[in-house]
Structure 1
Amino acid sequence: MVEITYIDSYKQERVLNYDSLEDFFRAFAGCLTVPDYLKVNKVTINEQDIHYSGQIGDLYRDMQTRDLSAYL
């Protein structure tokens, strides 16, 4: 499971959940309805923090370049 915690435009914490890493990549490869500029607070894969800090718009590219095998 992939869980993304971010702050929305109203300064409220929100969470996106994906059942698998494949589901995450599929959603982010398409048209995502969350604005790119929102700040990500935390990303976990199978309840393990991957220590990402940045914007939602940069998350897809960052996760593609990482070796995520330790989190699966």
Structure 2
Amino acid sequence: MFLVSLPPAYYNLKRYLSKQHLVDVTEVFRVLNAEKKVRLVKLGFYVVFFGLVITRLALSVIFVVFGDDDETIHWFG
């Protein structure tokens, strides 16, 4: 899960260090379509990532409650 979150973290850090994370109010309508696409892609990634995290959480709870200890170690070891 850590490796999945590295590319967006790098992208956000790169934009922050180059001071592109702020939206200039005088140029907002010129870059609106590009910014909208970037933000929709980021939103999609975070929704999928959230789904993966919740799925893994639910599976781990199910395996801990209903499964044997040996199977839990093999699934998440």
| Greater fraction helix | 2
Query: Same-fold call, TM > 0.5?
Result: no
Higher relative contact order (CA 8 A, sep 6+): 1
Greater C-alpha Rg: 2
Q: Which structure has the highest strand share of the two?
A: 1
Return the TM-score normalized by structure 1.
0.28
